[in-house]
Amino acid sequence: MSNTHRIQWFDQQIREARYPNSNHLAERFEISKRQAQRDIEYMVASLRAPLVYDAKRRGYGYDDSAYVLPHLFMSEDEKRVLRYLVHRYSQYDYDNAETAHRVARLLDRFTDDTESELYDRLPMFNADPRLMQLVLLLTEAIKHWKAVQIVYEGEQLTIHPTRLLTRYNDDYVAASCDNGQEQCQFRLLSIAHAAIVEQTATLAATGNPAAFQDESGAPARKPYTAKVRLTQPLEHGGTWNGFAATCIGDDSLLYGVDFYDTNTFLRHLMMSDWEELLGPKWLREKLRLHCSDVLTRLDKER
């Protein structure tokens, strides 16, 4: 029986002037008195129920008879969004990290698989559906030690995921590969396709999770910003294939694109359509040297 049913029952008892208390709630639903008291405290703190304790009747009533419980339902889609947000907030380890972790713990209360319904109806959040689905797929693979076939930057790999993590506000999966590579991290937004395969993860894939953590321990830093003119305006706004992008001035094709990892962004530039890279100068030079090196190697093959 979910806590939603307990709260609804408690509310009904109050409206029938039965003056319920934590003992009644615990006995009715066969839960501990501590859990029953938490339900009552939640009604006051989060549902803003005007509960008052009547010492004479040894139970609770409402100080305001006009009070109505809020809707106590959340859809499966909304719960999936919350699971994704729990992952993001719990992995955040930079400015105001403790606040983010408290948010994660709060949201995690609403994603408890033992609860079929939730205390309160929360708003729907804008999240990338493809990324959410990928997080759920990888979580399932990690939970059951399953291998996953992915297409990563044009290469097909079979990986054994061990954990999800976040570095500089970007999502990664830590995994080992069947192709003999050392355990490494794969940026989720660079995974074009993923599917669980009927293959149990090998022992090598269960190495020390600490090996995948950011060894620098550096605090969050401001992102680099590239000034890029695209071939067409961004339809969905806000991001350019996963990189935060902001339109500059009145030019609908000119964007400031934020990035943290230079090599990752250079690979993105090599694979994406754009018209002009206006800055910064050092990024233009890096891209020019990389292209020059590729052309030099191609000329050697002739």
Cβ atoms within 10 Å of 192's Cβ, excluding its own: 13
- Residue scoring higher pLDDT (207 or 262): 262
For β-strands 191-200 and 184-187, DSSP reports them as unpaired
Q: In the beta sheet, which residues pair with residue 255? A: 228, 247
pLDDT-derived band at 203 (thresholds 50, 70, 90) equals very low
The Cα 187–Cα 170 span in angstroms is 7
Q: Does the pLDDT value for residue 215 go beyond 60?
A: no
In the CATH hierarchy, which fold is given to the domain comprising 129-212? SH3 type barrels. (2.30.30)
Question: What's the mean pLDDT in 225-238?
Answer: 81
Average pLDDT over residues 170-192: 78
For a pLDDT cut of 70, what percent of the chain falls above it?
A: 68
Q: What is the pLDDT of residue 234?
A: 82
Peptide bond into 280 cis (omega under 30): yes
* CA distances from residue 146 to 74, 158, 160, 259, 281 in whole angstroms, order as listed: 30, 10, 7, 32, 44
Identify the pLDDT of residue 294. 83
Q: Do domains 3-62 and 129-212 have the same CATH topology?
A: no
State the architecture of 3-62 in CATH terms.
Answer: Orthogonal Bundle (1.10)
Instruction: Find the mean pLDDT for residues 239-265.
Output: 80
Which residues in 127-163 are b (16+ Cβ under 10 Å) and which e?
ebeebbebbebbbebbeebbbbebebbeeebebbbbb
Distance CA 110, CA 154 (A): 38
> Given this model, what pLDDT does residue 143 score?
81
Cβ burial, residue 101 (10 Å; 0-12/13-18/19+): middle
Domain assignments of the chain as residue spans, ordered by start: 3-62, 129-212, 224-300
pLDDT for residue 51: 94
CB–CB of 5/13 below 8 Å? no
The beta strands (E) that lie in the chain are given as 51-54, 59-62, 146-152, 155-167, 170-177, 184-187, 191-200, 224-229, 239-240, 243-247, 254-259, 276-279
Query: Mean pLDDT over all residues of the chain?
Result: 76
Query: 222 or 276, which is more confident?
Result: 276
pLDDT in tens, 45-99: 878 889 999 999 999 999 888 888 876 555 666 666 667 777 766 766 655 567 6
Which has more confidence, 119 or 174?
Answer: 174
pLDDT at 177: 76
What would the mean pLDDT of 102-128 be, rounded to a whole number? 51
Paired strand residues for 279 = 227
Q: Name the more confident of 108 and 252.
A: 252
- What single-letter amino acid sits at 180? G
Q: What is the mean pLDDT of residues 3-25?
A: 90
pLDDT at 39 over 80: yes
- Tokens, residue 66: 């006009």
